[in-house]
Structure 1
Amino acid sequence: LYDCPRSGRPVRFTVEEQADFLGYIDKNPHQPKAAAARLLEETGKEASLDTFKRILKKVPMPGNVVGNQ
């Protein structure tokens, strides 16, 4: 079951490229456009700001409590 091809579009950025983007965000958390531009320069892959927001959503942020509230 896991060996079968999956439906949907393949990811645009590799895991390493996503980690690079998250590293740029760690350095300047209030400048996501600058981090996206820097990744564009390095990889040559264009993506919308929404793509980068989806990458950020996948990362657990400190201070966000899920569960008992």
Structure 2
Amino acid sequence: MAGEYLDHLLECPYCGTIRLQIPKDAKPTTPITCADCGHYLGTWDEIQSDFERQGGANGVFQIEKGRIRKLN
């Protein structure tokens, strides 16, 4: 992993935050938006895939209730 911060689909290109609005019943095709500004970020499948590419699958980050944090 290149740095300490997530980027790509996880970071909102409009407001720069990483807060996702994820419905409880999200399916792979569910559209995901920024919880702060409401802009579209991608489908739930795209978001999860991007998260895994950036170290999420290796225990570097944790995603829970639309919030992502770096693990120590």
Q: Does the alignment reach a TM-score above 0.5?
A: no
Kindly indicate which of the two structures has a greater share of residues assigned to helix: 1
* TM-score calculated relative to the size of structure 2: 0.30
Kindly indicate which of the two structures has a greater share of residues assigned to strand: 2
Larger Rg: 1
Q: Which has the higher contact order (CA 8 A, sep 6+)?
A: 2
